[in-house]
Amino acid sequence: MSNAISIRLETVFKSTLGIDAVPAGLSQKNCEAWDSVNHLNLILALEAEFDVAFEPEEIAAMQDLDTVKKQLAAKL
Amino acid sequence: MKLFVFRNATLEPFFPREETEFSGYGDISRVPENEEKICWFYTLPPDVSPKDGQPLVDDFLQKLRLVLPRVPADKRLELTRLAFPQNPPLVLADTRLRDAIHFYNAELEKIARERENALLREAPDFATDWRMWFLAQMPFSPAKKRAEKVPPRVPAVRKKCIVLDCDDTLWGGTLGEDGFSALKIGGDFPGNAFAFFQKKCVELAESGIILAICSKNNDADVCEVFEKHPAMILRREHISAWRVNWNDKAENIRQIAAELNIGLDSLVFVDNEARERERVAVAFGGIVATPEFPRHAYELPAFFEKLVDEFFRCEKLTAEDLSKTQQYRDAAARSEAARNFSSLEDYIASLEIRLLVAPADDFSLPRLAQLTQKTNQFNLTTRRRTETELRDFLACGNAVFSLSVADKIGDLGIVGESEISFSADKKIARIENFMLSCRALGRGIETAFAQRILCVLRERGVETVFAEYLPTAKNAPCKDFLPSFGFVCEDVAGTRFRLDLRTCGELEISPAYKFLSHE
């Protein structure tokens, strides 16, 4: 994943989840703000930012930063 | 400024999170005291039926009237109008849904006039993203603007009957493989998308379209789902003609048309399998409509809308339309006995089926083990194997065969497995396992596969073949399989069979199949 895309991705995470930094290993388990409502917001924000659409199965699987990156990279 | 939103669906993405609090879905038990502003924002589900519109808005208004007295008169109250449906109705003269929405919006206007601090909010200008509706109960998506209104399409001639497949069309999953309780109907996605489709089929039936079922399954299994599955919306009484068997679908459809006494050009065949659609399209020269089925369950709403646009919308219903469904059902019941035989041979020839029977190798073993675990319907002995067990079996000098199938529409991959053990002198062979995935059933492939194996055994000098049929709850389709090759039953239970390869004559393989060499 290119640097520019990583930065855009981090920006989406920061503004959607209201967090200051996006550490490696970020996941629904270790981030309180990443709840089910923000998960929906995150998916909508990612789809708008990158002009992609995720499959329902992908949306369900995207529970940590690594998986989100992988799913996104596969679509770009 | 804090806002409290009364709602019945997922609306969070439309409000700033820090400043907004939401009621539970359809919950009016708590009326907040501290919020500065209250918003009433109920929405109709995007899949609402015309007949459900008025009862729903009545319920919304009743709730609102219970909330109003508990909101202080000076508090700011925003009432959100209901949006009109994006798509024109199935029956253009059916104004029930529009009337219900008009009624609701007019009631909101009355309330707004009566209360000093109340004002009306326009319905949001967003369209439904069905993916988000099925996944998260979000009735419209902030990323999807409503499209320009287009004039409704009405087909020049309305079709009369929709013929429906079952597995992965009316429900998610394969009944014969996954079983009754594992079917995806209702509940979470994708079950809710299939429930949507069933609900819309009922709307078709109520508008005079005849529903027919045409499925390759055990009749009793499908009956059980229609009669007993709690999440089914379609029931036997909606269905006017019923063909659940392993016969060629084109022949079934010909019978359905004859039984209902309607022309083949009045039928729309809905099946998720491209092969079945192709078969029916070719068999009738395109006279029976065979619309392409969506790949994803969340595309079912768009698919249904297309069916309505192209085949089923009408200006208005006559009394005759409304009673038609029942008439056809009666007629169908009378003539169901009058079925005749199908021309399966022509169908198979047109598919250009190519079969490859090959000894198992490292590539195929994992898939073969998986097949033994998952195959239920066409499975003579239902012996489950792991990859290691198959390797051990091979290491003892036995044989494992894989069957791969392709036809002109596509490649099915490995769909058949058979395990053969041999006596020390290699004169006696025993069929330990023999199976074909349900994806490849109904085209005579199982017969060709067995014939090929028997030929190979004879070439290797085998004189006698033993085989078993061990009945399970699901493998009735292969009950008469062994005797069809001349196998002789050896016990009263009907489970042990023997075939003498020296005396059984030629093993004919239908020329419809093209065997590829594995050498």
The pLDDT value given to residue B512: 63
Range of the domain at A46: 3-75
Spell out the domains of chain B, with CATH numbers in brackets.
Answer: 3-136 (3.40.50.1110), 161-342 (3.40.50.1000), 352-516 (3.40.630.30)
Which pLDDT belongs to residue B319? 64
With beta carbons less than 8 A apart as the criterion, state whether B199 and B303 touch: no
Shortest CA gap A48–chain B (Å): 7
Closest residue of B to A33, CA-based?
B17
pLDDT of residue B337: 35
The one-letter amino acid code at B456 reads V
Q: Would you call A41 an interface residue with chain B, using a CB distance cutoff of 8 Å?
A: yes
Q: Tens of pLDDT along chain B (519 residues)?
A: 689 999 999 999 999 888 899 988 888 888 888 888 999 999 999 999 998 899 899 989 988 988 888 888 888 999 999 999 988 999 999 999 999 999 999 999 999 998 888 999 999 899 999 999 999 899 999 888 888 887 899 999 999 999 999 999 999 999 999 888 889 998 789 999 999 999 999 999 989 899 999 999 999 999 999 998 888 999 998 999 999 999 999 999 999 999 988 999 999 999 999 999 999 999 999 999 999 999 999 999 999 999 999 999 999 886 666 666 555 555 455 444 333 334 556 666 777 788 899 999 887 898 899 889 888 889 999 999 999 999 999 999 999 999 998 876 666 788 999 999 999 999 999 999 999 987 787 778 898 999 999 999 999 999 999 999 999 887 888 888 999 888 999 998 889 999 998 887 777 666 666 776 543
Residue A56 at interface with chain B, using a CB cutoff of 8 Å: yes
Amino acid identity of residue B271, one-letter, is D
Chain B within 8 Å of A23 (Cβ-Cβ)? Answer: no
Q: Is A45 on the interface with B (CB under 8 A)?
A: no
Whole-number pLDDT of residue B340: 36
Three-state SS at A32:
coil
Alpha-carbon distance B447 to B478, whole Å?
10
**Roughly what angle, to the nearest 10 degrees, separates helices B387-395 and B365-374?**
120
pLDDT at B325: 58
Q: How far is B308 from B287, CA to CA, in rounded Å?
A: 18
Entry pTM: 0.71
B41 strand-pairing partners: B7
Q: Do A40 and B13 touch (CB under 8 A)?
A: yes
Of B131, B138, B141, the CB nearest to A56: B131
Contact yes or no for A56 and B13 at CB 8 A: no
Residue B366: asked if its preceding bond is cis (omega within 30°), the reply is no
DSSP state of B408: S
Q: How many beta-carbon pairs under 8 angstroms link A with B?
A: 30
Tell me the CATH number at A22: 1.10.1200.10
User: Rounded to an integer, what distance in angstroms lies between the CA atom of residue B354 and that of residue B336?
Assistant: 35
Q: What angle do CA B147, B150, B151 make, to 5 degrees?
A: 160
Give dist(CA B367, CA B207) in Å, integer: 47
Phi and psi at residue B133, in whole multiples of 5°?
A: -70, -50
Say if A37 is an interface residue toward chain B (CB within 8 Å): yes
Of the candidates B287, B303, B298, the residue with the CA atom closest to the CA atom of residue B129: B298
CA distance B262 to B210: 11
Distance from C-alpha of B286 to C-alpha of B309, rounded to nearest angstrom: 19
Q: Do B135 and A55 touch (CB under 8 A)?
A: no
What tokens does B188 get?
A: 């979470």
For B136, the closest of A18, A38, A40 (CB atoms) is A40
Distance (Å, whole) CA A51 – CA A76: 9
pLDDT of residue B320: 61
Cβ-Cβ contacts under 8 Å, B135 against chain A: 56, 59
Gap between the Cα atoms of B68 and B65, Å rounded:
5
From the list B149, B101, B147, B97, the residue with the least C-alpha distance to B125 is B147
A42/chain B closest Cα distance in angstroms: 10
Residues of B whose CB is below 8 A from A40: 10, 12-13, 132, 136, 138
Beta carbons of B141 and A59 less than 8 Å apart: no
Any B CB within 8 A of A53 CB: yes
The angle, 0 to 180 degrees and rounded to 10, between the axes of the packed helices A65-75 and A36-50 is: 30
* B23 close to B4: Cβ distance less than 8 angstroms: yes
CA–CA distance, A68 with B443 (Å, rounded to integer):
43
- Residue A56: which of B10, B135, B138 has the nearest Cβ? B135
Query: Terminus-to-terminus CA distance in chain A, angstroms?
Result: 9
**Could you tell me which of B279, B307, B119, B84 has the C-alpha nearest to residue B203?**
B307
Chain B, nearest residue to A53 by Cα: B131
Phi/psi of residue A10, each to 5°?
-60, -40
For an interface test with A, the pick among B14, B132, B138 (most A C-beta atoms closer than 10 Å) comes out as B132
Which residues in A lie closer than 8 A to residue B13 (C-beta atoms)? 40-41, 44
Cβ separation of B12 and A47 shorter than 8 Å?
Answer: no
Distance (Å) from the alpha carbon of A74 to chain B's nearest alpha carbon: 19
* Residue from B364, B366, B354, B426 nearest B401 by CA: B364
Q: Provide residues of B within 8 Å CB-CB of chain A.
A: 10, 12-13, 17, 131-132, 134-136, 138, 141-143, 189-190, 296, 298
Residue type present at position B99: D
Domains contained in chain A, number: 1
The residue assigned the tokens 């194996």 is B453
Q: How far is CA B123 from the centre of its chain?
A: 34
